[in-house]
């Protein structure tokens, strides 16, 4: 030890939890907190930071006040009396230096434990930077830097291995445009669309995000990953987006595209709604009103057949029969949608999705779309892989942005999004 250790309080030292210092005295500060007086007890603190030679000639003492975590719910104010030493190496350009330890690095006004707690509060605790700063009495820039340092420690440098990934886009905020003074044209500086890459089956969260909504952005991110990681990816789950499909075929030619079943049913529901609106206008020359048969069952058309009671199904058929030919056509479209759901649910074999009513353009368009994407649909039928992980991560990403009242820095937004979507997997991998 560097000074006489008389009066060292070992119990208080363990309670403080700062390696490299020992508590000599604890006083009540009169404001609901404690003032803790400490001295250096680590011999390596005498090593010159420039040459590494251990100093033997004392210059003077200085008292610093590094901020630390509360203890027992009470604020702690540290008074660290540390020595300033003369460097005894004549060739060292540094004449003197002040003691520094790992728990309080040189030039830092906060302890490592406090900075670690601030970073963990944002990265693992789900708090905003502002709230973490209020709780720990730190400024926004300090907490943000602590968060970035902590995230660099806990997030993997490369995506974890997986056999299936999901790709989906999410929109937050508005695009940022800037006029080029040379060409006087407006150029896109920051895109509101972000494309995310997630683990589709392993629950490992978000692997990364890129700005933009084009095939080049997706392909560039995929090709930038290690070759060993790309070789393990066998399936890529997407929605009905030809841009994503083109990028996957370019960057991962060996991987099979999986079309998410939710978006297939959503497409069928959309075409059914278009058909209902078109035939309603054709019959009434206006939108449906209360008292019209189609108005009575308009919400039932969005329901699945297994969710309809017997009375609701009877009402459904009777009201559509009252419409005549148009009602029967709507009922046929609803049946086609349910047959498609049965196909996706049972995953048995390919069915003929083109209905006999070829004069209904909405059903023809639906059948053509399914035919174009049949390879991806068939892969879903055989594997059962969906893009639900992407949709769940998008919800967390939007929630994180709302809690932060938006982001001005897109890099911070992507980092916060990645931390928010990997908290569970990181806790399972490192429970302590």
- Report pLDDT digits (tens) over 330-353: 888 888 888 888 777 654 334 444
Cβ atoms of residues 283 and 326 within 8 Å: yes
Of 74-78, 79-83, 120-124, 180-184, the one with minimum mean pLDDT is 180-184
Where does the pLDDT of residue 1 fall: very low under 50, low under 70, confident under 90, or very high at 90 and above? very low
Q: Could you tell me whether strands 256-259 and 193-199 are parallel, antiparallel, or unpaired per DSSP bridges?
A: unpaired
Choose the most confident range, by mean pLDDT, from 123-137, 266-280, 335-349.
123-137
Determine the pLDDT at residue 30.
Answer: 84
Determine the pLDDT at residue 138.
Answer: 94
- Report pLDDT digits (tens) over 236-265: 999 988 999 999 999 999 999 999 888 888
Cβ atoms of residues 196 and 394 within 8 Å: yes
Task: Assign residue 188 a region (left: φ > 0; alpha: ψ between -120 and 50; beta: otherwise).
Answer: beta
- Report pLDDT digits (tens) over 225-238: 999 999 999 999 99
Please name the residue that has the structure tokens 């210059």.
59
Distance of CA 126 to the CA centre of its chain: 11
State what percent of residues in the chain have pLDDT above 90. 40
Please name the residue that has the structure tokens 């086609």.
336
Where does the pLDDT of residue 357 fall: very low under 50, low under 70, confident under 90, or very high at 90 and above? low
Cβ atoms of residues 288 and 263 within 8 Å: no
Distance of CA 101 to the CA centre of its chain: 35
CATH architecture of 164-260+387-429: 2-Layer Sandwich (3.30)
β-bridge partners, 199: 165
Residue 279: burial class (beta carbons within 10 Å; 0-12, 13-18, 19+) = buried
Determine the pLDDT at residue 351.
Answer: 40
- Report pLDDT digits (tens) over 5-16: 456 788 888 888
Of 202-211, 217-226, 240-249, 297-306, the one with minimum mean pLDDT is 297-306
Q: How many CB atoms lie within 10 A of CB 56?
A: 9
* Domain boundary assignment for the chain: 1-109, 114-154, 164-260+387-429, 261-383
């Amino acid at each position: 030890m560097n000074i006489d250790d008389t009066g060292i309080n070992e119990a208080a030292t363990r309670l403080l939890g700062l390696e490299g210092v020992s508590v000599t005295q604890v006083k009540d500060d009169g404001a609901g907190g404690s003032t803790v007086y400490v001295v250096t007890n680590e011999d390596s603190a005498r090593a010159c930071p420039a040459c590494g030679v251990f100093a033997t000639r004392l210059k003077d003492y200085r008292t610093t006040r590094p901020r630390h975590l509360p203890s027992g719910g009470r604020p702690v104010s540290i008074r660290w009396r540390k020595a300033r030493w003369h460097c005894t190496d004549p060739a060292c350009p540094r004449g003197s230096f002040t003691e520094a330890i790992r728990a309080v690095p040189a030039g830092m006004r906060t302890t490592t434990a406090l900075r670690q707690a601030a970073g963990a509060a944002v990265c693992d605790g789900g708090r905003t930077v502002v709230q973490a700063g209020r709780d720990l009495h730190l400024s926004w820039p300090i907490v943000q830097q602590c968060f970035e340092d902590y995230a660099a420690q806990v997030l993997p440098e490369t995506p974890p291995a997986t056999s299936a990934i999901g790709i989906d886009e999410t929109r937050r905020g508005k695009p940022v445009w800037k006029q080029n003074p040379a060409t006087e044209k407006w150029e896109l500086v920051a895109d509101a669309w972000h494309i995310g890459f997630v683990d589709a089956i392993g629950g490992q969260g978000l692997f990364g995000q890129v700005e933009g909504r084009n095939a080049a952005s997706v392909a560039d991110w995929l090709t930038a990953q290690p070759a060993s990681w790309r070789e393990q990816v066998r399936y890529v789950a997407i929605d009905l987006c030809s841009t994503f499909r083109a990028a996957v075929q370019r960057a991962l030619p060996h991987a099979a595209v999986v079309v998410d079943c939710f978006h297939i049913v959503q497409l069928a529901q959309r075409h059914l709604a278009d058909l209902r609106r078109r035939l309603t206008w054709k019959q009434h020359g206006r939108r449906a009103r209360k008292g019209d048969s189609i108005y009575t069952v308009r919400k039932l058309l969005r329901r699945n057949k297994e969710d309809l009671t017997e009375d609701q199904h009877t009402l459904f058929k009777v009201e559509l029969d009252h419409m005549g030919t148009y009602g029967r056509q709507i009922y046929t479209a609803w049946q086609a949608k349910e047959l498609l759901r049965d196909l996706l649910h049972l995953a048995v074999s390919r069915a003929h999705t083109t209905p006999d009513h070829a004069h209904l353009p909405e059903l023809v368009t639906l059948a053509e779309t399914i035919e174009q994407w049949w390879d991806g649909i068939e892969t879903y039928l055989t594997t059962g892989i969906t893009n639900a992980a992407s949709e769940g991560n998008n919800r967390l990403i939007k929630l994180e942005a709302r809690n932060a009242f938006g982001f001005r820095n897109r890099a911070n937004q992507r980092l916060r999004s990645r931390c928010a979507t990997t908290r569970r997997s990181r806790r399972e991998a490192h429970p302590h």
